[in-house]
Amino acid sequence: MKHPTTAASFLMLVVLFSAGCSTAPSKESGQPPDDPYYERGRMMIDDTDAPLEINDPWEGFNRTIFRFNSYADRWVLNPAVSVYRFVFPGFVRTGVSNFFTNLDNLQTVINEILQLRPVPALHTTGRLIVNTTVGIGGLFDVATPIGIPQHYEDFGQTLGRYGVSDGPFLMLPLLGPSFVRDAAGRGVDSVIFSAIDPLQLDESDARTYTYWTLLILNARSTTSFQYYQTGSPFEYELVRLLWATKRQLEVEK
């Protein structure tokens, strides 16, 4: 599986077939629901606008993926990250993280150009050049100490900047929260990446496997979020709200 899309679509299929997707609660035979002590209609004015309301027509599916991701974390990714942290000392992991941040700048600069934003694009180009050369292929971050700012842009943000709305909320297998626009954006970003193929992954299987292994380990090890650690029964709702807020800010930036 050389291409990420193959792996992702395979997973998506597995999950789809193993998922019950209804968000409706099951009720005891045929009765209407009882009135709870506190009922929504009595507690809230109808037109109160509430921050938790986010467009999520596929919530049943999304919740299934949310759970799937927590299992993937528990049984595969977290143990793998533990091994990664045990085997590689901190400075090596920092190098790996720097390497991928530098590589991401390729995607960032492309999207900055697509968004017609010359100044950030210059920053990012500067970072790419300095860190790839002086920083030995991106392993060292030389650009930050000399004051070149780090940005982050993706094709989802580019679409957002041109007025494409985020669309329905979508939990992606392994990748976590997203929106339809941003998921499509990811697809475009990865097609562009494969077309440029800056690491010439096409030429070596060994290189491809190493790349993907390190990419996944680095991504998981630099993300502090852990599923079901808030303790809240509304964790899914909270994650959805915070993610929507984060993306809104990133697009506006």
Partner 1 sequence: MIRFAAVLLLATSALASAEAYEYPYDNPYAATVLGTPDSVKADVPEKIPLKVRKLPRFEGRQIPDALWYGAQLDYSYAKQKGPAPLIFVIAGTGAAHNSEKNQFLMRAFYEAGFHVVGITSPTYPTFVIAASTTMVPGEQRGDAADIYNVMEKIWAEIGPGMEVTSFNLTGYSLGGTNAAFVALLDEERKVFNFRRVLLLNPSVNIYNSISKLDRYLENIPGGVDNFNKFFRKIVDQIGSVYKKSTNVSFSPDLVFEAFKDNPPRDEELAALIGVSFRLSSSALVFTSDVMTNYGFIKPANVVLTRNTALEDYAQVSLRVGFTDYFHEYAWPYFQKTSTAKTREEFATLQSLTSIQDYLISARKIGVVDNRDDIILVPGEIDFLTNTFDTRAKIFPVGGHLGNLEQRETAAYIVDYFK
Give the interface with partner 1 as residue ranges (CB under 8 A). 20-28, 31, 33-40, 43-45, 48-53, 56, 59-60, 63-64, 67, 70, 123, 144, 149-151, 227-234, 236-237, 245-246, 248-250, 252-253
Q: Residue 162 Cβ, how far from partner 1 at the closest point, in Å?
A: 18
Q: Residue 197 Cβ, how far from partner 1 at the closest point, in Å?
A: 28
Q: Residue 171 Cβ, how far from partner 1 at the closest point, in Å?
A: 12
Which CB, 24 or 206, lies closer to partner 1? 24
CB–CB of 135/95 below 8 Å?
no
Q: Residue 84 Cβ, how far from partner 1 at the closest point, in Å?
A: 17
List the structure tokens of 105.
């700048």
Which CB, 45 or 206, lies closer to partner 1? 45
List the structure tokens of 76.
């595969």
Phi and psi at residue 178, in whole multiples of 5°? Answer: -160, -175
Q: How many CB atoms lie within 10 A of CB 25?
A: 6
Which CB, 130 or 201, lies closer to partner 1? 130
DSSP strands (E only) in 99-206: 169-172, 176-179
Q: Residue 148 Cβ, how far from partner 1 at the closest point, in Å?
A: 9
The helix/strand/coil state of 234 is coil
CB–CB of 133/125 below 8 Å?
no
The number of residues in the chain equals: 253
